[in-house]
A and B are shown apart, each in its own frame.
Chain A
């Protein structure tokens, strides 16, 4: 194990998420292949000599000891396996632009979250561009990927139908409407129905969907018995149609 100036081989760069502290030297295997400190070569090819700690084992043997696959995000895991030549059918997913892969890694998307991208690769440039420009949160990103995959399997949408019209929230709303038309239309009807009701003053009534349950939530603050009786009588006059809860 020596700290020596060498030409560094960057062929094992799998763009790991965890950065190697700047205060520590670059680390290579006995075959000059870098194993720690890849991020310091962003845009460089490693052709210039660098000081690095050269370990006795080969880089391929070192990588699995240095990185914990259980902590890796989905794309990171696939890239890691690829540089190690481990058998896995990752070619379709690793064809996605590196920039998008790194964005998904940064948002901690696991393998099962990115798998649906396998089935929307015909829209790869468009989806990548949309996601990178709209910068969704982690949960938004998962949801968009799921929705696009499900909708694409329906074989009735072009990218023109699916593409975002404005921001991420609007995009999700649009995709959800397309993916769940029966349920969303029933919700719209229920909300319309409820908006026509004149609720007693101070009563907040809203339609809420939680998973597979949709319900009407009625809230009010009551400070006295008189107020309670008044509210009770006013609520008793409200007649909601059966249709509110129908689909």
Chain B
């Protein structure tokens, strides 16, 4: 993780947010003077950003209000088993730089945005929790922005941990490739904030997950969270087929199981490389010749995304699942964004029948968003 203080090259704050606490925090943290603007400094691009525009957007920060709902159901993927996940968007774009990042085909905004009206997000959540007092919703903040990598700027994590401590029926997931847990790890909590780390073998972290924390740093941060009573989770996602992949993923599982008992781990989700075909051109422009993602044997899948052949996916998933089973049968492993064929090929059953993770897949009430 490189120093975030000097990361941004341009910094804008909407005038309506200028005096908010969050803006003051960000202003005092960054080594760059902000520009006060009365409207959005750059408009969205029609179509996709070019590679260059995407790179620039990572270093151009804009603090603004979020208009509309914060809270929405995870779109999941067509034909995949759905794990009842809700997304709370606190911003858009990421300061890290993974070659396979789906934001490359998703974002058409030439800015990194951080939303300043998090109080409204929490009010929205409050309303939903009152409407469905018994529904065990899981909420994640890491869909279009890493949950924690920009936390030094905003310190949103502490706000959320405090709020969720008063709402023990709900679960919050911080999802990150950083190791930035210091702003919340010492707070009192209700045991309902899961800190999840996306992990991959070090060789893949080095070649594909640029500007992220190393595997070791992520695991140490996860250990610290577990020691402070936070449930931790892991996403071994996206698995990438590289030379000696079996050995690399075996050692990943070995190091993880040597550091965490099954009881300490809330879940381990496993997924394989996937992205929409339209992302290939920006990937070529940004990483051509320097990534194994462009060499991956991917084919169009049922939902239009490119994926490894089903047989190869089954083999990769089975390998990881078997390695966990070797260590302890109780590790709660499940497949993310995967077809029922993958579930059958890996577990020989469907997600709702697997002890430990079945509750993720039970239908919950529908929230209008």
Contact = CB atoms under 8 A, between A and B. Distances in A.
Query: Is B one of A's binding partners?
Result: yes
Interface of A: 112, 115-116, 118-119, 146, 149-150, 153-155, 179-183, 186, 209, 211-214, 245-247
Given A112-B281, A245-B311, A212 B300 contact: yes
Given A211-B301, A212-B300, A153 B311 contact: no
A74 B308 CA distance: 29
A118 B280 CA distance: 13
Contacts of A247: 309, 311-312, 315
Closest 3 CB pairs of A and B: A247-B311, A212-B299, A211-B300
Given A116-B281, A118-B284, 8 more contacts: A180-B299, A182-B241, A182-B297, A183-B309, A183-B311, A211-B302, A214-B309, A247-B312
A112 B302 contact: no
22 contacts: A115-B281, A116-B280, A116-B284, A119-B288, A150-B295, A181-B297, A182-B241, A182-B297, A182-B312, A183-B299, A183-B309, A186-B311, A211-B300, A211-B301, A211-B302, A212-B300, A212-B301, A212-B309, A212-B313, A213-B309, A213-B310, A214-B311
Interface string B181-218: 00000000000000000000000000000000000000
A92 to B, nearest CB: 11
A214 B310 contact: yes
B133 interface: no
A150 B301 contact: no
B361 to A, nearest CB: 23
Contacts, number: 65
Contacts of A213: 302, 309-310, 341
A146 B309 CA distance: 18
B322 to A, nearest CB: 15
Nearest to A215: B310
Contacts of B128: none
Interface in B260-278: 278
Contacts of A119: 284, 288
Contacts of B315: 246-247
B302 A153 contact: no
A183 B299 CA distance: 10
A213 B309 CA distance: 6
Interface string B162-192: 0000000000000000000000000000000
Contacts of A183: 297, 299, 309, 311-312
